[in-house]
Amino acid sequence: MTRRPGTGSAVHVEDRRVAGAWVGGIASAIAYGLTPTVAALAYTEGVSPSVLVTLRGLLGGALILAFAAATGRLRRLPLRASLGLTFLCGPIFGLQILAYFAAVQSTGAQIALVLVHVYPVFVLLLVMLTRGQRAGLPVLMVCALMMGGIGLVSGSGSSSITAVGAGMAVLSAAGYAVYLVLGEPWVRQVGAIAATGLVTAGSTLAVGIVALATHQDFALSSGGWRTVILQAVFLIPIGVGGAFYAVRHLGSVSMSLLGLLEPIVGVVVAAIVLSERLGGLQWAGVTTILLACSLLPWATRWRRARGSTDTSERSVTVSN
């Protein structure tokens, strides 16, 4: 059997990109998982949520856009994709962060964490409704396993649920799902780095308007500036950039499932930095989610292989 020249090389390059996408998605989940603890440290310094999001966005967005411009990634960007990422995905991303912070303040961090991380369910629903795609039984099973693990991790605390807090958390989850699904085709056109800069600019503009309209105080202590710089220089580029790279090569469904690593990171870091203790059920949840994440590549590979088989069978049927 012969193989066309260059085919093996192209497959190898694609495999490396997919592997890099998994690494980027995991790195993004870790960065997002660190964010609540860093935000909690900022709150102790008197920084409000809207001011924190605005200032970190200004610094982080400027750095990302400067790097994108210096490396030529802002040349000849598709106008429609650029506008969509900046003025649609950006504000959605920014406002869902504020909704999440409101949920934390209203109903407690643990309950809010559980409810916000139901967003993969919204992603699956949106993909099925808008694109007619089926997630496949293995992906659905992995999703169910992850959701069970999240329930164990975050449901064993003492937080009390409120209707307002629950509503804001679900709103944040839905907003993040819409942001992922809307942004997926535009990221493929623009690229992960440019898309990160554009979304950061749009979210900063939207949240900055909220901060100014509510007369928030932008005077920060030295400790407050340290938390802002930490988020701007590290957490935003890794979190948003890694997520977009994963979405570009894996799709929004796989990235949304990888994002369920965030509560694991958040719980462990909070235990170390904020002296919070993990219970037996929480450690069981950690184990469950890590097991589910290890099954993700297999589940999505099975779906792609099944789709290729179905396509081949349809081609044979048509040719006959």
**Single-letter amino acid, residue 57:** G
Place of tokens 């979405």: 247
**Backbone Cα Rg of the chain:** 20
Cα(118)–Cα(35) distance, integer angstroms = 18
Percent of the chain's residues with pLDDT above 70:
80
User: Looking at the predicted structure, is the pLDDT value of residue 153 above 90?
Assistant: no
Q: Phi first, then psi: give them for residue 132, nearest 5 degrees.
A: 65, 25
For 242, how many CA atoms within 13 A lie in the half-sphere containing its CB? 22
Give the model confidence (pLDDT) of 44-70 as tens digits.
899 888 999 999 999 999 999 998 999
**Single-letter amino acid, residue 123:** V
| CA 80 remoteness from chain centre | 23
Per-domain residue ranges of the chain:
19-312
**Single-letter amino acid, residue 167:** G
Q: What is the pLDDT of residue 142?
A: 79
Give the model confidence (pLDDT) of 26-48 as tens digits.
998 898 888 878 888 888 899 88
User: Looking at the predicted structure, is the pLDDT value of residue 311 above 60?
Assistant: no
CA geometry: angle 263, 287, 294, nearest 5 deg: 90
320 — pLDDT class (breaks 50, 70, 90)? very low
